[in-house]
Structure 1
Amino acid sequence: MILDQPLKKLFSNKSGKDSNAKSLLKSISWRIVGTIDTIVISYFVTGEFVMALSIGSVEVFSKIILYYLHERVWESAPKTKADDTQQEYA
């Protein structure tokens, strides 16, 4: 309640697009899920927990950066409005 407005300002800009901070937090949270998945799969493939942790720790940093860049590219892509798509088919 008290933090509602400051958080909205942090996570979106005037044009309604996601902010860099929101994209970064989404990147980190998604990587946590992805890294747990990688560790589990690596454990089943190798049968070694230490090896699975090693694989998971290596991929986490590269994929945070890749996801962040991916998110920013998609955020900068032009968006079509519902009215624009209806005019195309008219």
Structure 2
Amino acid sequence: METRLRSIVKAVIWNLIGLTVMALVGVAVTGSLTAGGIMAVINTMIGLTTYFLYERVWAGIRWGRCHG
């Protein structure tokens, strides 16, 4: 089982990557650094929350694990 801290660290790192990508896409689509940044921050907040919850649910599911 994964600790909560590990889940949080993984989620934060993954979302920093996503924040960067989304900011670049947002700037490319809108032509505005502000609009692209706002889009990226909102996307990251939603993504971080859902990813963390998703990981915690799967951490409690025993199906498919190898014990040994």
Scaled by the length of structure 1, the TM-score of the pair is: 0.66
* 2:45 paired residue number: 61
Percent identity of equivalent pairs? 20
1:33 aligns with 2:17: yes
C-alpha displacement at 1:81, in angstroms?
Answer: 2.9
Q: Look up the match of 1:88.
A: none
Gaps of 5+ in 2: none
Cα root mean square deviation, aligned: 1.8
The TM-score with structure 2 as length reference comes to 0.85
Aligned length: 67
- Work out which of the two has the higher radius of gyration on C-alpha atoms and give 1 or 2: 1
Q: For residue 81 of structure 1, what is the aligned residue in structure 2?
A: 66
Q: Which runs of 4+ in 1 moved over 6 A?
A: none
